[in-house]
Amino acid sequence: MHEGCPMSNTALALWHESSQATNIRIVQKPEGQWLEVHALHSLISMGTERLVCMGRVPAALEHTMEVPYQEGSLNLPVKYGYSLVGRIHEPGDPNHQRLVHLLHPHQTKAWVNPDDIFLIPDGVSARRATLASNMETAVNAIWDAGVSVGDTVLVVGYGLIGALLAELINKIPGTTVYVAEKQPTRCKKAKDMGLQLWETDTNIQAQNICDIAFHTSAQQEGLETAMNSVGQEGVVIELSWYGDRPIQVHLGGMFHAQRKAIRASQVSSIAHQKQLRWDFRRRKALVFDLLKDERFDRLLTDSISFEALPGFFSELRAGPPPGMGWTVTYPSA
């Protein structure tokens, strides 16, 4: 493992100091033998990271929500983030300079267990590879839903997770995919990607025509749109995470009469019908095979330098920015 000179034993890391402040700290290389990775890009998961930087993680979920190589506490301060791409820096090692993906907070260099990295295959760029963690979420949700040939599907919320879901489902033969989204720039992006918008002011919603709906907007109104869109025995897959914010779910109307169901989907467990045959590394290999499609570059709409992140998170606390996929670019990129 890489030892290096004293200057190489420090890195810069993003820390949420309080619900109002984010800073960059100098961090030391931990003791022991570690694989050194120099960061190129990381992905900002808008919904989750906004709640984390605002200290909105319920105390009961603090340990459940921990990520690999996190430091501090989700009660703040904390070093957080979970999709980073970099190059192995181990001169003499056969994988020296290989591109890798790992679950790690936003940090210029990472010292990690070799078992925690995934070698990125040819055909996937470093920036596109940051989508891997969110793509795993989308794949797992599709497994949970059991989407099949010919289904009519609604995706509520065209953020990054919603966009990945729509792209994958649209490739299944015979499927019809609608997107429900309020933000004009995201509506335009959905149409540019060849998707149909869900027109809530027409009779289409009243027909309960969807077989499955995915909810990703983290808004009560969005969940109700998803519930109203599915028909008899229809299923709503809930991917939104609300932190400590309560929401109301109205189960009147046709919910009972049509035997509808709401099911949570979360990436930390593989969908139950796959668990006997799939593990996390097999799922990650599938994800990177899917990410060889250059269309996914179109979902990465914005980039920010690592040095500018404290200001970015200050603005994020006030509300999500208009872009869809935000990546961080590091000095070594």
Residue-wise pLDDT for 138-176, tens only, equals 999 999 999 999 999 999 999 999 999 999 999 999 999
Q: What is the pLDDT of residues 269-327, one digit of tens each?
A: 999 999 999 999 999 999 999 999 999 999 999 999 999 999 999 999 998 888 889 99
Q: Which residue has the higher pLDDT, 201 or 80?
A: 80
- State the average pLDDT over residues 20-48: 95
Q: Where are the domains of the chain?
A: 6-130+300-329, 134-271
Average pLDDT over all residues of the chain: 93
DSSP-derived secondary structure for 207-267: GT-EEEEEE-S--HHHHHHHHHHEEEEEEEEE----TT--------TTTTTTT-EEEE--T
Q: Which class does domain 6-130+300-329 fall in?
A: alpha beta
Give the pLDDT score at 3.
45
The pLDDT score that the predictor gives to residue 57 is 92
| Residue 79 pLDDT exceeds 60 | yes
Contact 185, 192 (CB under 8 A): no
pLDDT of residue 200: 65
CATH topology of domain 134-271: Rossmann fold (3.40.50)
